[in-house]
Structures are given as structure tokens and as C-alpha cells.
Amino acid sequence: MKRLTWETRLGIFLVLASVAIYTVKFLVFGAPENTYYYIFNALGFLPINVLLVTLILNQLLTVRARRDKLQKLNMVIGTFFSEVGTNLLVRLSDRDAGLETIRCDLVVRDDWSPKEFEEVRACLANHPHEVRVDADELDAIRTFLIQKRPFLLRLLENPVLLEHEHFTEVLRAVFHLADELERRDDLAHTPATDLAHLNVDVNRAYRLLVVQWLDYMAYLKEHYPYLFSLAMRTNPFDENASPVVRG
């Protein structure tokens, strides 16, 4: 015979407890009509109890669970930028022909409001992202990404990433770029047609990285000022960035 689940055992216990309480009430106070009246009153309110628990309490638990997942996800995103993302942004932004038109917008300050982050995000949607990378730089990027592949693979094993579609796209673009570069034996003699193809992959990863970086900066500013301070001082788009705090 199969053992009862804990839910079944709990249900049986609660029903028996309720029966015991009503029995004691009847034996002590008598007046079965009052007991029956109370039982029916309780049963009448039961659907409202179910409504309150199902809709309100469940909603509160869902909001809390979503907040916890968001916090864990942003910890993962922060680790990604520390290990991979910031380095790629430094390399690629230096080769963005149109960066000067938006560089000042990407130098995030500690007095920015959520509205300013949204305005910059909208501006990025119209930025052409004209990164041009030569064979030597592609070789350096390949070496870097191959070195970081174990780290990137561990990120993909994290189930919390399924909650963030855009960051998943970032990882997919970076992985694709790494695969494209790794499958080429001799980047030094890459023909112009293939170089153009690789630059398309580079620009895809760069475009997604920039938007994700901006969103992460907005999150840090709102929730973790001390992490935001370091992120500002190591801004990959700020030519004067330095982790050293000066007066």
C-alpha cells in the first residue's frame, strides 16, 4: 500500500481537528442548533477564504518570487560583465565608427533618473553600431572567448537565465561569435567577404551587449549604489574611466 503524501496527512489531520473542536463545543455548551448554525456560517465564508488565499496571497508570493529571481539573475549578469562583457565592450566600442555621437550618453552619472536611462536606451535603438574589426583583432577576440568558454558554459547551465530573454540573446550572440572564430584556422588570411560576415556577427553581439550593459547599470543604481559606483568608474565607454577614487 502506498504511503500517504504529506499533503494528504495534513488534510486528514485538519479535518479531524475541526471535528474534534466542534465535538468539544457541542459537549461543553450543548445547543446543537448553534453549532450547526456556526458550521454553515463557516462554510458560507469558505469560498471567500479561498478567493483571498488564491488571488491575493498567491499574487504576493509570485511578486516576491519574481523579485528574488530578478536579484539572482542580475548577480549572474554582473558576473558576466566582470568576466567577459566589459572586456568585449572596451575592445569593440573603440572600433565603433559612430561611437562619438553617443559616447557622452553612455557616460552614466550618479544623478541619472530612470527617465534618462530610458532616453538613452531609445537613442541606442537608432544607433547604427558600425564596428569594423580587422583580422588581428578578431584573433585576439577569439583567444579571449576560447579562454572564457568554460565560464560561459556554466552560465548556460543556470536555469534562472530562462527568465531573461534579452540576456539569453546576448549569450547566444557571444557564443555564435566564438564558434565562428574558433572554426577558422587562419584569420590572418581571411578574405574580405568572410571578414564582412564576421563583422556582422561582431556587431550583433556588440549591439545586444550595449543595451544589456545599460539595463544592468540602471538596476545597480536603483538597488546597489556601491556596485554602481565601481561600474561608473570602470565604464567601458568613458575614456577617462579609472577604478581609483579621486577627490
- Spell out the per-residue pLDDT of the chain, length 247, in tens: 457 787 788 778 878 887 787 777 777 766 666 666 676 777 666 777 777 777 777 777 777 777 777 777 888 899 999 999 999 999 999 899 888 888 888 989 888 999 999 999 988 888 888 899 999 999 999 999 999 999 988 888 887 776 678 898 999 999 999 999 999 988 888 899 999 999 999 999 999 999 999 999 999 999 889 999 999 899 999 888 888 887 6
Q: Which DSSP letter does residue 97 get?
A: T
Indicate whether 247 belongs to any domain.
Answer: no
Under 8 Å between Cβ of 57 and 203: no
Q: Quick one: 103 and 192 in the same domain?
A: yes
Considering its fold, how many domains does the chain have in total? 2
Which residues span the domain enclosing 122? 69-233
Q: Quick one: 193 and 97 in the same domain?
A: yes
Q: Quick one: 101 and 35 in the same domain?
A: no
Indicate whether 15 belongs to any domain.
Answer: yes
Indicate whether 161 belongs to any domain.
Answer: yes
Q: Quick one: 181 and 147 in the same domain?
A: yes
Q: Quick one: 93 and 187 in the same domain?
A: yes
pTM: 0.74
Q: Quick one: 134 and 216 in the same domain?
A: yes
Distance CA 51, CA 54 (A): 5
Q: Quick one: 29 and 135 in the same domain?
A: no
- Nearest one of 175, 163, 182 to 204, comparing CA atoms: 175
